[in-house]
Amino acid sequence: MHSVLRLRTAFRSTIAKNICTSHVRQSTYEGDGKTSVSILNREADAGLLINSFSQVGFRLSNDMKVIGPMAIFPRSVLSWNVESHEDITEESLSLFTALEPKIDILVIGIGDQQTTPAFTKKIIEFMKKYRINVEVLNTEQACATFNFLNAESRVVAAALIPPVSLRFNEDDLMRTHIASSRPFELDEK
């Protein structure tokens, strides 16, 4: 019982700390050398951006989670009815040819699978009939490309399939280790 009360008290103080420190401080300095930083994924007018992906789906900049493959546009997202890159056909791509205004570029993320030049050529030839540029990439590169083009206010769409496996780097492993080594610790400052 005593540990529950301590957790409740710590939880309340943490909430109060987060609320009190969440305001933005305005700098009054306006002289030379002033630097400002803009985080695109937090700006509402940048449209939808992809924050992260997993084997299950995607997390968008508006905190929406999309399970499975998706078709994403600058301001909307749809479920895309494919299982793997082998299911990408003219029929599954016809959604992108019927849009108005016409998209400039379609970024296709095929998960972590390898494609053949014949597969890529077939997609490019089909989209060329509709004068739509296309990039066929792995999902990690496709997400970054979509975010970049969308932030530049290009008329872009992406068709993305979650990868079957994920690559981890040392930073990912370190964050996981730190989070798992102290799951219930709270800062008491």
Return the domain boundaries, the chain: 50-165
Cα–Cα separations (whole angstroms), residue 59 to 45, 56, 68, 100, 136:
18, 10, 11, 26, 21
Q: Which pLDDT score, from 0 to 100, does residue 2 have?
A: 46
pLDDT band, residue 101 (cuts 50/70/90): confident
Q: Which of 34-38, 42-46, 147-151, 178-182 has the lowest mean pLDDT?
A: 34-38
User: What pLDDT band is residue 184 in, cutting at 50, 70 and 90?
Assistant: low
Any idea which fold 50-165 has? Hypothetical Protein Mth938; Chain: A, (3.40.1230)
* pLDDT reported for residue 39: 46
Question: How many Å apart are CA 49 and CA 72, to the nearest integer?
Answer: 9
- Name the token pair of 139: 């999902």
